[in-house]
Amino acid sequence: MLSSVAVLAFDELSVFEFGVLCEVFGLDRTDDGIAKFDFRVCGQRGAGEPLSTSGGVQIVPEHGLGGLQGADLVAVPATRLREFPEPALEALRAAAAAGATLLTVCSGVFVLGAAGLLDGRRCTAHWKSVDELRERYPLAEVDPDVLFVDDGNIITSAGTAAGIDACLHLVRRELGSTVVNVIARRMVVPPQREGGQRQFVAQPVPPRSTDSLAPVLDWMLEHLAVEHTVAGLARRARMSQRSFARRFVAETGTTPHRWLTLQRVLYAQRLLEDTELSVDAVAERCGFGGAALLRHHFRHLVGVAPIDYRRTFRTCGPGAGAARLDAAGA
């Protein structure tokens, strides 16, 4: 059962992520037939002690660490801090030991790591932070490709809007679809999104250690629709196939086939965003030949189907404005 929620807030608090928790759990929705949560904001230094934020304002919590006691859910919003006071970590460990569910939004997951609560547990973070999370807490099982991870009594989410997904998932898990649909409707967000955070990750061209293959790589980018073979590319580079393959991996970190597939998917993303070409036409322009092969590689690298990606990110054509609004709100 989920009836009491305590937010454990630290300095350098991210205002949006904190607001997500207030929006989902802190509002009175009894007029919609939903029981009000016992909602407490608990500061790292105590009740009435202001907390700094990333938005140039301060937040004054009404509760200290004692507010975590007896809470069904302890939620930790994002913070820029990476070192945390031991009394706050001890209060978090005590809440977990007492049976509370722990939920983090974005970088709030680092608080659980500092408390030693991620060892052997599945979790996630914003895609820009997953390497740091792995480095700091190597015993955690970090999944970089998902919007959130439900690992029983620990739920962690990726960046910003993914916190909404995690919160609504928890409400659905504990209180059912009727309650979560009411909350989502009031927030004007979907009660459940498909896909993972791979679709939001900018994937640049892999760096090159030298420029010896630069002319060949540039030519490949200009002729993505052309069928390429290692033999043909090696001739263009004036190398043997074996030398070319070895040099390619050394300079790009991957094989010619994988590099070309990634560039074709990146080009497909731009076409899906900026044109009204059909998926078949996009596939042909990118060199995949047909929609089936495009869908296979696109879903593997981006995490969603091409049509779903276009629905979220497209910038032109009918409904483009609505799609952008949905993406911003979700």
In the chain, pLDDT over 70 holds for what percent of residues? 88
Helix (H) or strand (E) holding 217: helix 214-222
Q: What band does 196 get if pLDDT is binned at 50, 70 and 90?
A: low
What pLDDT is recorded for position 134?
96
pLDDT, tens only, 130-160: 999 999 999 999 998 888 999 999 999 998 8
Q: Domains in the chain, please, with CATH?
A: 4-199 (3.40.50.880), 214-329 (1.10.10.60)
CA 265 to CA 50: how far, in whole Å?
47
What pLDDT is recorded for position 195?
64
Phi/psi of residue 8, each to 5°? -95, 110
What pLDDT is recorded for position 324?
36
Q: What band does 252 get if pLDDT is binned at 50, 70 and 90?
A: confident
- Whether 316 shows a pLDDT value over 90: the answer reads no
Q: In 3-state terms, what secondary structure has residue 102?
A: strand
**211 burial class (0-12, 13-18, 19+ CB within 10 angstroms)?**
exposed
Q: What band does 297 get if pLDDT is binned at 50, 70 and 90?
A: very high
Mean pLDDT check: name the lowest of 50-59, 102-111, 160-169, 201-210.
201-210
Strand segments (E) across the chain: 4-9, 38-43, 51-52, 58-59, 73-76, 101-104, 122-123, 141-142, 148-150, 154-157
- What token pair was written down for 185? 């409707």
